[in-house]
Structure 1
């Protein structure tokens, strides 16, 4: 058995300095004691670390976030707010264009000398293109990016609005309304995608609520603006107003709105092609890498994973013609198909209320265009408030369910949703609103049937708008949770 190193050192010291044996023995004892204490402390430290590891909360089983993992987005809070604002305003244009038109339906019917049924056909065709346009432009946005598709759609939209303001025939009205719908209807879906690009699951309710509130704002202010413009300036002023509004909006869109598509710029740190860059990109730091150098390998792995299930644009920048059938593949997924079916029912209810109001209120209460437009305020304000109230509620319930499951929530990095009970976090918020909305809809129909008081009809419209829009938002968040 070999001697301890302390004993050897003590022997050498004796030979050189001739120290007493007692000092040598004392030195040896201290050395051996220190060695034992070091071993004991190390054992206690290891046991303490094991106990701490046992006491730590459980994280997601796969792809759990860590300090070395890349950030979900490198955009700052201020940049994210700007992106959400631009996306929300883009989502506002389509419903605004639909509802601003309603108070002028009776006037258009008289001026163009067609029946109310024929004028209502322009609503039907507008909604048809609302459904068809996202299948083309949505796939195109996944291929070439969000920003170029926004610009292309709004250029088409402005041209259609100018044509609508100048036309004098029902045929031109019908065709140009289809073109107007095609140009802007996809912006609602793309705005939701932008929110998903820059927000993690734990904050998605809040940011998607803000984007959805922009869409609801169009419903809120559209009929009022349409009634005012039609009553005082004529129905043509409606389309001039829309063309000017979008033209002004495109200034910050073209100058400063960055590309957010994760298959194009990843988490925002990859410099995109020229057509994806804002004109002021050289004067900003949006595309600088804001992460530590030791996270670059993880970032590259993350980007490769993100792009593997989307467009191959980032892989040698290959592009393909948009395929509308790609969207239909989602129907093959049972969970997504069920959500889409429910959303279709909710959206039908929503449009039934707003499309029938001009005729019903004109017949029951004998209102003019301006009065009909003002009657949309309760329904529109409810539609605007619903996502703002639902967003924080969804995020709170997400954190509550995560805590019950023992999962740590990271607001800055992506987390796997494989073992997360997403339905428990989302559905309990939507279910009460669905029941309340259905009951209010039945009462609303009964009130109009018996020519009931206006106040009752408007209060019921508010309840329907609050519940129906809230359900619609929750289902949209769930679809994004399943897909992103």
Structure 2
């Protein structure tokens, strides 16, 4: 199987002509969108018991709203990802946030369980796609040399949810009631949507190429309709001037497709139907499944072992969230550093003296070299986390370990997610949607399995098993490097024969 035709159905145009300032604005806007997805899941947890009492239903039924949220978190991006790749990021963002805001208003006003369940599914369907859109937006405006750092910023926004979501939810539920949680989400998402509508440009390469081509008339920032045509032309010229001096990466241009099309939810699976991509999806799913075993067990263990209140337990998530944010920033920089380091080791073409193209850098190996030590850190600290709980160590011990769990597992996830985008720059939203589906199902399975495991094996041996499952991803990562080298060598041999 030829990797080039499978991993990139059509080569994207030369990288972004957006200025550095505009690129930073786009990346931070994408990070904000991803933040709402994780926040909406985590902010809900402190209100579960109160909701069960007010709606007069069992705790198991309320927990079903959490499970359904996770299921739709995996399914919905399959539709939006393909739509965003073909039609554009802006309309996809707008559709997601309209659905999200409407569902939050409904959740704040509803009074029965059926409405809660349906609206939670609707809320998840709206906002969960923002993670895929954020990663796709980064792919639109970045090169491989800088993509790690940009993905790190986006993922930092995504992982702020677990850090502050339970705290905000606990405070709102305790002092203003559970309905205030959804009014809060309505207000902050509405405030976020306004500048997105006015200033965020379209970045999808199928629509605007490298950023220098005009988007559809209905798919432009509102500010362009408020300025005169001369000012718009001048602003667009300034936005593209800095990037136009970039050297070409040797990739051919792609003719924009200005069309609306019904999203094909199976397209993301077809996009990633390649051995390298399947390995990345499995590794990412296992990493996030391991992360979910820790997240979903903290509340029960901390309340029974340390007698903490819901608000105190929410505060205990800060260390895990802080580790995740630190990993988001540092992992991205390490990915970029290692990619540049490997690029600097490439020899120039002996016949022409020209530098070898970017595609000559083994990107799978460059990313996996960073992923493997992060997986080891995450695995060892999960193992230690289980045994300090088994022996009832002081609260400081598991809290310190949670920081490093966040560093290792979040860093590994960012590294594999960046690699998947590297391999699918022509359809990054679809590839990320497939990634989101797989990790959501792994996470749902892990959250369902951890309680029976803790009952049957105890805390120490349960997390020991989780740690060894996480370590089992390392052979996959080593195989990934070997697969890439084999494919590249085969391609080079075919070229020599021709």
Matches within 5 A, 1:4-83: 72-83=15-26
Deviations 1:53-72 (A, max 9, x none): xxxxxxxxxxxxxxxxx862
Match of residue 208 from structure 1: 151
CA contact (8 A) 1:103 1:372 kept: no
Match of residue 85 from structure 2: 142
Matches within 5 A, 1:194-205: 194-205=137-148
Match of residue 126 from structure 1: 69
Distance in 2 of aligned mates of 1:386 and 1:79: 25
After TM superposition, give the deviation of residue 407 of structure 1 in Å. 6.3
Matches within 5 A, 1:306-325: 307=255, 314-315=256-257, 317-325=258-266
Work out which of the residue numbers 262, 277, 294 in structure 2 matches 1:336.
Answer: 277
Match of residue 194 from structure 2: 251
Distance in 2 of aligned mates of 1:257 and 1:371: 39
Match of residue 442 from structure 1: 383
After TM superposition, give the deviation of residue 380 of structure 1 in Å. 0.8
Deviations 1:95-145 (A, max 9, x none): 000011122223223333333322222111111111101100001101210
Match of residue 421 from structure 1: 362
After TM superposition, give the deviation of residue 443 of structure 1 in Å. 2.1
Inter-CA distance 330–380: structure 2 relative to 1 (3 Å threshold): same
Matches within 5 A, 1:199-278: 199-278=142-221
CA contact (8 A) 2:162 2:321 kept: yes
Match of residue 483 from structure 1: 424
Match of residue 392 from structure 2: 451
Inter-CA distance 166–416: structure 2 relative to 1 (3 Å threshold): farther
Distance in 2 of aligned mates of 1:434 and 1:228: 34
CA contact (8 A) 1:148 1:276 kept: yes
CA contact (8 A) 2:14 2:253 kept: no
Match of residue 464 from structure 1: 405
SS at match of 1:385: helix
Match of residue 303 from structure 1: 253
Distance in 1 of aligned mates of 2:309 and 2:160: 23
After TM superposition, give the deviation of residue 420 of structure 1 in Å. 1.7
SS at match of 1:275: coil
Inter-CA distance 172–356: structure 2 relative to 1 (3 Å threshold): farther
RMSD: 2.3
SS at match of 1:302: coil
Inter-CA distance 77–102: structure 2 relative to 1 (3 Å threshold): same
Matches within 5 A, 1:341-420: 341-406=282-347, 417-420=358-361
Inter-CA distance 358–286: structure 2 relative to 1 (3 Å threshold): farther
Distance in 2 of aligned mates of 1:279 and 1:335: 41
Match of residue 27 from structure 2: 84
After TM superposition, give the deviation of residue 417 of structure 1 in Å. 4.8
Relative to structure 2, which stretch is displaced further, 151-160 or 117-126? 117-126
CA contact (8 A) 1:90 1:188 kept: yes
CA contact (8 A) 1:102 1:355 kept: no
Inter-CA distance 230–406: structure 2 relative to 1 (3 Å threshold): farther
After TM superposition, give the deviation of residue 261 of structure 1 in Å. 0.4
- Which blocks of at least 5 consecutive residues in structure 1 are unaligned? 1-69, 308-313, 409-414
After TM superposition, give the deviation of residue 291 of structure 1 in Å. 5.9
Inter-CA distance 333–184: structure 2 relative to 1 (3 Å threshold): same
Match of residue 14 from structure 1: none
Structure possessing the higher radius of gyration over alpha carbons: 1
Within the alignment, does 1:164 sit opposite 2:107 as a pair?
yes
Inter-CA distance 103–448: structure 2 relative to 1 (3 Å threshold): farther
Kindly tell me the number of residue pairs found equivalent between the two proteins: 397
SS at match of 2:345: helix
CA contact (8 A) 2:87 2:259 kept: no
After TM superposition, give the deviation of residue 391 of structure 1 in Å. 1.2
After TM superposition, give the deviation of residue 290 of structure 1 in Å. 3.9
CA contact (8 A) 1:268 1:286 kept: no
Distance in 2 of aligned mates of 1:300 and 1:350: 39
After TM superposition, give the deviation of residue 385 of structure 1 in Å. 1.2
Inter-CA distance 262–300: structure 2 relative to 1 (3 Å threshold): farther
Work out which of the residue numbers 260, 264, 268 in structure 2 matches 1:327.
Answer: 268
CA contact (8 A) 1:263 1:303 kept: no
Give the TM-score normalised by the residue count of structure 1. 0.78
Distance in 2 of aligned mates of 1:114 and 1:148: 38
Distance in 2 of aligned mates of 1:354 and 1:134: 23
SS at match of 1:276: coil
- Which blocks of at least 5 consecutive residues in structure 2 are unaligned? 1-12, 350-355, 426-498
